Amino acid sequence: MNIDRRTLLKTGIGLLGGAALTACTPPAPAFVGPADARVRAAEQARRPGRIRDFRLTAAESQVDLGGTVVRTWAYDGRVPGHPMRVTAGEVVRARLANQLGADTTIHWHGLALRNDADGVPGVTQAPIKAATEYTYEFTAAHPGTYWFHPHSGTQLDRGLYAPLIVEDPNEPLGYDDEWVVILDDWLDGVTGSPEDVLAELSRGMSMPGMDHGDMTPGPSSTGMGKHMLMGAMSPLLGGDAGDVRYPHFLVNGRVPAEPETFRAKPGARLRIRLINAGGDTAFRVALTGHRLTVTHTDGFAVQPKDVDALLVGMGERYDVLVTLKDGVFPLVALAEGKAAVARALVRTSPKAAAPKFDHRPRELDGEVVRYAKLQPHEQVRLPQRRPDRTVRLELTGTMAAYDWAINGKKYDPETVAPVRSGERVRLSFVNRTTMWHPMHLHGHTFALPSGIRKDTVIVLPGSTLDVDFDADNPGLWMIHCHNIYHAESGMMTLLGYAAGSQ
Ligand SMILES: [Cu+2]
């Protein structure tokens, strides 16, 4: 996720800023770049409404995770950052002051927004330099549960994340209250930094040919460092669950021993918006003593479906409804394959005693939501159409070499898969690795074979998954694994609207 001058030139973004770049005359761009008139036209078609102003400061901060005090990077000194809330159709105007001492950007995860606000340095904008400010402005066209985070290096695995909730002015669901639950895996300022982790993982494994998963967990005498996790196995994820050892797992920035408590009356109907902001951890989530009614996947409505638990990969979101019983109920997020939990509490009785912090609700071992078992709400179902084009994306690489890539090629901003405006495009994810990958497409919400709409999807090891979308948002868009260490080691590529489109 780093700047590349060639892409800046190729897409004409050099004209937006950067003195060294504006001196050059860019060649005729092959793709619709972020500064293209077609990007502005697509934004106008969203009929931008009222402007809502936000200010954020990204800075190194001291943050209390519930008795564990860490120095980390955060928005406005909080983890998570203040939730942003707007109504669909409104314009988000967010001014970011960068006091990090490093370049940064903000990516607005899941939104079909104007390409020049997508926050990918070197692709949709120049990086925001230290001690400067930058203003994002975009229409939030679709209601739903979204979030934002940097798209620079491994900054996502510090404390730089927050929810972005786009409310529906004609909300069809009935509920008494809502609760945003954001999950995270945490090591920054405790066992090291995300940069340390990436450096260690990038060295690969010291015993060539050793397969991930054959060893018992724990640092060993083979030269492995303290961050690499071996033997994290999950049947739900098809094997190897993750690469990184985290000392803490958080719900809303709190460790399980000092959880956030959500208070309500018995019988209250609660909407929970679940977001996984983790770097390398899928969470299996359940509310003790309750079944959950799934209503949305990645912000888009599904036909209501009751389940015991949800598996949430990095970058994924689910909305659920639940009618609360009388008592105190841990909401538990099991770090899948990692034998540790994050949690919060739902309390509808002031007196009831909370179960111990390592309590594991039996719902976790019940029916877990499956993509194939969900049906889209009719209003979000894509019309039947044969794809005009298939973009084949082989997911490649191994833990031993730590060479995660797409089509065998580490991220190269010169490699852009072309699409044309108006096409129905199929992305065919072919997972050639022995690990699962949560694959994320920027700027669009695709349809799975079951028809449900998502922007981030778990692709299990050894499997193929086809997802379809309509090419209706011109620009240059990333497709990448939302495991931040896989993405940074190279499992990212670009999709571009051909400049000859329309
Ligand atoms: Cu991955």
Query: Are residues 220 and 144 both part of a single domain?
Result: no
Residue 218 CB neighbour total at 10 angstroms: 11
Q: What is the pLDDT of residue 83?
A: 98
Question: Which H helix or E strand runs over 458?
Answer: strand 456-459
Instruction: Check whether 101 has a pLDDT greater than 70.
Output: yes
Query: Are residues 186 and 322 both part of a single domain?
Result: yes
CA of 396 to the centre of ligand 1 (A): 9
CA of 437 to the centre of ligand 1 (A): 4
Q: What is the pLDDT of residue 224?
A: 63
Nearest-angstrom CA–CA distance, 274 and 178: 11
CA of 480 to the centre of ligand 1 (A): 8
CA of 487 to the centre of ligand 1 (A): 7
CA of 441 to the centre of ligand 1 (A): 13
Q: What is the pLDDT of residue 24?
A: 55
The distance of Cα 251 from the centroid of its chain, to the nearest Å, equals: 15
Of 151 and 6, the one with more pLDDT: 151
CA of 324 to the centre of ligand 1 (A): 36
- Type of residue at 381: R
The DSSP code for 191 is T
User: Binning pLDDT at 50, 70 and 90, where does residue 15 land?
Assistant: very low
**Domain assignment present for 190:** yes
Query: Are residues 212 and 357 both part of a single domain?
Result: yes
CA of 384 to the centre of ligand 1 (A): 30
Query: Are residues 411 and 311 both part of a single domain?
Result: no
Lowest mean pLDDT among 52-66, 188-202, 220-234, 306-320: 220-234
**Mean pLDDT computed over 383-406:** 96
CA of 157 to the centre of ligand 1 (A): 15
pLDDT digits (tens, 9 = 90+) for 200-248: 999 987 544 444 444 444 444 344 689 999 889 999 999 999 999 999 9
**Mean pLDDT computed over 29-42:** 95
Instruction: Check whether 90 has a pLDDT greater than 90.
Output: yes
Nearest-angstrom CA–CA distance, 347 and 265: 8
CA of 2 to the centre of ligand 1 (A): 18
Query: Are residues 178 and 47 both part of a single domain?
Result: no
CA of 355 to the centre of ligand 1 (A): 35
CA of 246 to the centre of ligand 1 (A): 17
Torsion sign (Cα): 368, 252, 190, 354: negative
Q: What is the pLDDT of residue 14?
A: 38
Nearest-angstrom CA–CA distance, 154 and 192: 13
CA of 221 to the centre of ligand 1 (A): 27
Query: Are residues 163 and 176 both part of a single domain?
Result: no
Q: What is the pLDDT of residue 28?
A: 63
Query: Are residues 35 and 156 both part of a single domain?
Result: yes
**Domain assignment present for 31:** yes
Last residue of a domain, one of 377, 408, 442: 377
**Mean pLDDT computed over 420-436:** 98
Q: What is the pLDDT of residue 356?
A: 83
Nearest-angstrom CA–CA distance, 228 and 205: 9
Query: Are residues 291 and 355 both part of a single domain?
Result: yes
**Mean pLDDT computed over 74-102:** 98
User: What ranges in 153-290 are assigned the alpha helix state H?
Assistant: 194-202
Range of the domain at 243: 172-377
**Domain assignment present for 188:** yes
CA of 431 to the centre of ligand 1 (A): 10
Last residue of a domain, one of 377, 404, 424: 377
- 3-class state of residue 250 by DSSP: strand
| CA angle, 461 then 464 then 465, to 5° | 115
**Mean pLDDT computed over 263-291:** 98
Last residue of a domain, one of 167, 189, 221: 167
User: Binning pLDDT at 50, 70 and 90, where does residue 10 land?
Assistant: very low
CA of 257 to the centre of ligand 1 (A): 30
**Mean pLDDT computed over 427-442:** 98
377 contacts 301 by C-beta, under 8 angstroms: yes
**Domain assignment present for 73:** yes
| CA angle, 295 then 442 then 139, to 5° | 75
Percent of the chain having pLDDT more than 70?
90
CA of 450 to the centre of ligand 1 (A): 23
CA of 214 to the centre of ligand 1 (A): 19
CA of 307 to the centre of ligand 1 (A): 26
Q: What is the pLDDT of residue 19?
A: 36
CATH of the domain at 227: 2.60.40.420
CA distances from 357 to 185, 331, 501 (A): 17, 11, 56
CA of 395 to the centre of ligand 1 (A): 8
Percent of the chain having pLDDT more than 90?
86
CA of 232 to the centre of ligand 1 (A): 15
Nearest-angstrom CA–CA distance, 144 and 88: 9
Query: Are residues 132 and 178 both part of a single domain?
Result: no
CA of 439 to the centre of ligand 1 (A): 7
CA of 294 to the centre of ligand 1 (A): 25
Instruction: Check whether 419 has a pLDDT greater than 90.
Output: yes
**Domain assignment present for 399:** yes
Q: What is the mean pLDDT of the chain?
A: 92
The distance of Cα 457 from the centroid of its chain, to the nearest Å, equals: 10
Query: Are residues 356 and 407 both part of a single domain?
Result: no
CA of 239 to the centre of ligand 1 (A): 13
CA of 252 to the centre of ligand 1 (A): 24
Query: Are residues 162 and 213 both part of a single domain?
Result: no
**Mean pLDDT computed over 301-315:** 98
**Domain assignment present for 502:** no
Query: Are residues 157 and 208 both part of a single domain?
Result: no
pLDDT digits (tens, 9 = 90+) for 137-151: 999 999 999 999 999
Domains of the chain: total: 3
Task: Write the CB contacts of 305 (distance below 8 Å, at least 6 apart in sequence).
Answer: 293, 294, 369, 373, 374, 375
CA of 48 to the centre of ligand 1 (A): 35
CA of 440 to the centre of ligand 1 (A): 10
Q: What is the pLDDT of residue 215?
A: 44
Instruction: Check whether 17 has a pLDDT greater than 60.
Output: no
pLDDT digits (tens, 9 = 90+) for 68-81: 999 999 999 999 99
CA of 242 to the centre of ligand 1 (A): 9
